[in-house]
Amino acid sequence: MDPITDGAELWRLTAEHSPIGMALVGLDGQWLFCNRALSHMLGYEPAELTQLEMRTITHPGDLSENLERVASLLAGEIDSFRIRKRYIHASGEIVYGDLSVALARDAAGDPLYLVSQVLDVTEQQDNETRLAAAAADTELERRTLEAIFETVGVGLLLINRDGRYERMNRLHAEFMRLAFPDGHDGLAGKTGEVYHLDGETLMIREEMPSYRATRGEEFDDFTYWVGADPLTQAAFSVTARQMRDPSGNRTGAVLAYQEITELMRAIQVRNQFVASVSHELRTPLTSVLGHLEMLGDRDDLSAEVLGQLDVAQRNANRLRALVSDLLQVAQAQEGNLELQRRPADVAALVREEVEALRPTAERKQVVTDASGPDDLIIEIDEQRIRQVIDNLVTNAVKYTEPGGAVHVSLRPTGGGVEIAVTDTGIGIPADELDRVFSRFFRGSGAVVGQIPGTGLGLNIVASIVRAHGGTIGLQSEVGRGSTFLVTLPAKGS
């Protein structure tokens, strides 16, 4: 027998060895044949499988569709059909198959039997199920992020690597209308009604947060005003972060804009309040001091009254110093710290200040001295720098125990100067080093030791040094002492 010429044998061989499940089912539902692939797929031996009814190996949920299709086929309504159905494996597990069924007919066209082919798609189905679950998860996450994106109280903006606006939430779209009433082309760096903290100086392209973010910068709480009308201006604080792909390449940036108008107005009001109160206090205080001085000049007062006058005078002087500190802090805050720079001899200035404080230091048994060149002329606001040295040396003496020492050294630095004020005092704990320059900050040493002060001195010092374009640094160790290092550059450097 030649299998090539004998069609039945050829069919048997093909069916037997096909990787696809194959079966012949009689019109009465009896299995006539099933191949190895099909019995393997369903977990039976071929002989076992042919003993089973179709409904036994079909998932109940798919049975009626299967039967309907077979009925249509037998009724001659269709020539073949194809469905995906669930089979019940011998182990009880569900396996998925793509079933194709055709009706074989004899030469006269009468139905003979059903030819079924089943492709095991369990793995594919599992993958599809997993994919669908992953897609559903992704969709849920997308919706959650979308909801957060739109409901957070900050304006959010996403820009791509080239600074093109990719997405923004509704709140940011509102903010955009304030800053760019004439519209925006969606490209980072466009200038608009965006002002620096003085509320008047317009920001240039290079200063715009979106432009800076496009250049790869990251920053926190960059604050500015938006809008030309001072009455309706709004203040914003913006934070920028870069986005990168898994290889670390920049893909863009996210910017978060928080409206802080109320906070900024509150700060303004507080500063104005401090400024006006201290201004208003100055005039009556000057009068009080003047009259106290005149009283002190009288020669008909008893020693007791003179003693009381002295106390009143000392306290009025302290009050005046406090008021002038407050005024100065308020001015520095407003950016109104105007300098009157003239060439001045810093060396002489340091010597004079140390000399002026010597009596106070001696009373406390603290030794003071100064070292450095005989003269060193640079352009500074002499009054203000005097105040810097006075504040630093006063602190050094104030925070040094009897028996200690305070040393001021001066060093020229390429047109500028470096002034170091070193003491052997109580020192400053590491966690306070950053804060001592903040307004009204009083260190634990000052509080515990009940050393009088307002917490304004170093803030004033720092703002004067900054206004000169200089820097102030601090090194300190608790129990060993502190060094405040001020550098002032040559003017214009």
* Residues at the contact surface with ligand ADP, assessed by CB under 6 A: 395-396, 399, 423, 425-428, 436, 441-443, 445-446, 453-459, 482
Assigned token pair, 438: 């903040």
Closer CB to ligand ADP, 116 or 482, in the complex = 482
Closer CB to ligand ADP, 199 or 453, in the complex = 453
Closest contact distance (angstroms) between CB of 400 and ligand ADP is 7
Closer CB to ligand ADP, 215 or 480, in the complex = 480
Assigned token pair, 108: 């006269």
Closer CB to ligand ADP, 259 or 432, in the complex = 432
CA distance 158 to 164: 9
What are the two backbone dihedrals, phi and then psi, of residue 269, each rounded to the nearest 5 degrees? -60, -40
> Which among 336, 328, 334 has a CA at the least distance from the CA of 459?
328
Closer CB to ligand ADP, 442 or 491, in the complex = 442
CA distance 492 to 253: 36
Closest contact distance (angstroms) between CB of 402 and ligand ADP is 15
Number of alpha carbons in the 13 Å side-chain half-sphere of residue 164:
4
318, 326 in Cβ contact below 8 A? no
66: left (phi over 0), alpha (psi -120 to 50) or beta: alpha
Closer CB to ligand ADP, 344 or 460, in the complex = 460
Beta-strand ranges (E) seen in 228-310 are: 234-244, 250-259
Chain position whose Cβ is nearest to ligand ADP: 443
CA distance 453 to 441: 10
> Which among 204, 205, 213 has a CA at the least distance from the CA of 163?
213
CA distance 67 to 62: 9
CA distance 329 to 340: 17
Closer CB to ligand ADP, 238 or 406, in the complex = 406
Helix (H, G, I), strand (E, B) or coil at 215: coil
Q: Any bridge partners for residue 224, and if so which?
A: 236
Closer CB to ligand ADP, 282 or 442, in the complex = 442
Contacts of 160 (CB under 8 A, 6+ apart): 166, 251, 252
